[in-house]
A = this chain, B = another copy of it.
Amino acid sequence: MADYKAPLREMNFLLHEVFAADELWARLPGLAGAVDRETADAILEEMAKLAANTLDPINRSGDEEGCQWNDGVVTTPEGFKEAYATFCEGGWGALLGNPEYGGMGMPKMLGAQVEEMINAANISFALYPVLTAGACLALDAHGSEELKQKYLPKMYEGTWSGAMDLTEPHAGTDLGIIRTKAEPQEDGSYTITGSKIFITGGDQDLSENIIHLVLAKLPDAPKGPKGISLFLVPKFLVNEDGSVGERNAVNCGSIEHKMGIKASATCAMNFDGAKGWLVGEVNKGLAAMFTMMNYERLGVGIQGLGASERSYQNALDYARERIQSRSPAGPQQADKAADPITVHPDVRRMLLTQKALIGGARALSTYVAQWLDIAKFGEGEEKKNAEAMVALLTPVAKAFFTDMGLDCTVIGQQVFGGHGYIREWGQEQLVRDVRITQIYEGTNGIQALDLVGRKTVANGGAFFNLFADDVQAFIDAHIDHEPLAEFVQPLAEELQRLRDVTARMIEAAREDPHASGAASVEYLHLFGYVAYAFMWAKAAAAALPKVEQDSFYKGQVKTARFYYQRLLTRTRALAASVDAGSHSLMDIEEELL
């Protein structure tokens, strides 16, 4: 397996040449002075080293060894403890944290690139700090001042980690039917009782304490999603002086045996009258959870991107070394027994498909992160619009990056032929690891329903129009620039197609309760391909003036061309499926399925 090399050149290109991140940072109140291009580049370079030298080397061994459960105690694979310590010493857990409690307050545009590297090197490892960061976000947004002061600094340090306890055996997508109970105590705390499953990092041996954020119901809570509250339940109670005290009644009953991410402990957790504290308001637990969902869901999308990049690097390396058969145009290396397989059009198709989908995802994640930063640090109308953009684009990023993540890792495995199927080359692990990203944090089917239902149909396309306007503005600005016509003209057609399909879909939802659900997954993919087309057009626009300067730019333009000619064609199939409506799905009797 090739060593992981962080794609710093691509990241820099996007941040500074495509999105002019430092201009944005310089004008946003909370970021001005805190981060500039130099700081950003230094941070990226540091993570590139950590990813390559510390996280990547324990990825395969972690998969082989897996986590172990013994009598309630979870042990992570060899090397994870040390790597986690190194990660925390570098301050990486605090990168995006609130500076009031010890965070560094960096922008998500930078954080997104950092996350890609961590995930490319080791998804299982990444999950431990990622869940902690998610818990910190929820706590920072909804916790009392007392809770924040007590927990956030240690969690940013990584000394304590976080876990999110939502799912129960009978309740995954439908959290309204959870059964975990919270009973109020006289001291203002609550007693939590119930069982949770699929809890990432629910127990482990990396951190001194584990802070669970748990969804539960008060005895008198209304039925359904409006009766859910959020509680902080530490593994060890925390003393007044901030030191770790006695063990709380939270226990890991078992860990799951899974297809992949085997070095990430997926725990069944039992709360047997554990002591907890309310986070946010009573019965508003789901809303509190969802404030951090946009970050988390983009983060899961980025896992798909990271795995794709890793698979691509391996595949490219292998394809260059592997000699097999001759070029259709005649021998290219006549002195050798055969040519390297990169001479074959179909091998190029595979590698370029990976490269184009990765570039599209990386650009779109940067674009979404930009809106997250404006939503967090901006003001007024700009902030409001950014929030809408984030709401719209988050389900696309989560589901499309991860669906393409599976495709990319499968392609990367295919390049290896039989060698891709055996464990030693690492390509099959990436397929197994990335597969979970389509499922957790809301399945991709649920993401699609969110995009179509709440984010599009519910507001009559208002959020969609903001996005379409942004694409249109790009088209208008470049439509007369002849060298870009091969991208801008088809982009205009694709945008029109997406507008039309969106309008018809909104219309159909008025009369048919099944219309949105029937259209959802294909619509999300259609949206994703158009969004990537927008990204590749932006990349081409930034690269085109410099193609003589550096072959990197030529590579960007040619990859954009491949994307437009070979992958963007998929939109016409997707649009036709969306337009087909719900009839063929709903007309068939349940017993005939």
Q: CB within 8 Å of B: which residues of A?
A: 167, 170-174, 176-177, 197-198, 256-260, 266, 316, 319-320, 323-325, 327-330, 337-338, 342, 344-352, 355, 406, 410, 413-414, 417-418, 420-424, 428, 431-432, 435-436, 438-440, 443-445, 448-449, 513-514, 516-518, 520-521, 551-552, 554-555, 558-559, 561-562, 565-567, 569-574, 576-577, 580, 582-593
Which residues of B lie under 8 Å from residue A554 when comparing CB positions? Answer: 589, 592
A593 and B316 form a contact (CB under 8 A): yes
Considering the chains assembled together, what is the distance between the CA atoms of A319 and B587 in angstroms? Answer: 18
Q: How far is the CB of A547 from chain B (nearest CB, A)?
A: 11
Give the copy number: 2
A592 is contacted by which of B443, B555, B569, B570 (Cβ under 8 Å)?
B555
* A344 touches which of B266, B436, B517, B576 (Cβ 8 Å): B517
A422-B256, A520-B346, A572-B573 known; A337+B559 contact, CB < 8 A: no
Enumerate the 9 nearest inter-chain pairs by beta-carbon distance, A residue then B residue, closest first.
A345-B517, A555-B592, A569-B576, A259-B428, A573-B573, A345-B518, A328-B513, A562-B584, A565-B580
One of B443, B558, B584 near A587 (C-beta < 8 A): B558
Given contact pairs A410-B406, A417-B172, A520-B346, A259 touches B432 in the complex (Cβ within 8 A): yes
Q: Do A586 and B345 touch across chains, with their CB atoms under 8 A apart? A: yes
**CB-based contact B588/A352 at 8 Å:** yes
Least distance between A216 CB and chain B CB atoms (Å): 17
Q: Are B517 and A431 in contact (CB under 8 A)?
A: no
- Nearest to A585 among chain B residues (CB) is B348
A315 to chain B: closest residue by CB: B593
24 A–B contact pairs at CB < 8 A? A171-B324, A172-B324, A174-B338, A176-B325, A197-B418, A198-B418, A258-B422, A259-B422, A259-B428, A259-B431, A266-B422, A320-B590, A345-B514, A345-B520, A349-B521, A414-B443, A551-B592, A558-B588, A562-B585, A565-B584, A566-B577, A567-B577, A571-B573, A573-B573
A559 contact set on B, CB distance < 8 A: 588
Once the chains are docked, how many angstroms separate the CA of A3 from the CA of B591? Answer: 18
How far, in whole Å, are A584 and B514 apart by their CA atoms in the complex? 40
Could you tell me the distance in whole angstroms from the C-beta of A137 to the nearest C-beta in chain B? 22
**Bound form: Cα–Cα A445–B319 in Å:** 14
The interface residues of chain A, by DSSP majority, are classed as helix
Residues of chain B with a CB closer than 8 A to A319's CB? 593
* Assembly CA distance A576 to B570 (angstroms): 9
Considering residues A345, A432, A513, A558, which has the most beta carbons from chain B within 10 angstroms of its beta carbon? A345
A173 touches B324 (CB 8 A): yes
For A566, what are the chain B residues with a Cβ–Cβ distance below 8 Å?
A: 577, 580, 584-585
Once the chains bind, are A588 and B569 in contact (CB under 8 Å)?
A: no
Which residue of chain B lies nearest to A340 when distances are taken between CB atoms in the complex? B590
Q: Which residues of B contact A170 (CB under 8 A)?
A: 323, 337
Give bound CA distance, A319 to B448, whole Å. 19
Contact across chains for A422 and B257 when beta carbons are under 8 A apart = yes
Q: Nearest B residue to A354 by beta-carbon distance? A: B593
- Say yes or no: B517 contacts A257, CB within 8 Å: no
Q: How far is the CB of A407 from chain B (nearest CB, A)?
A: 10
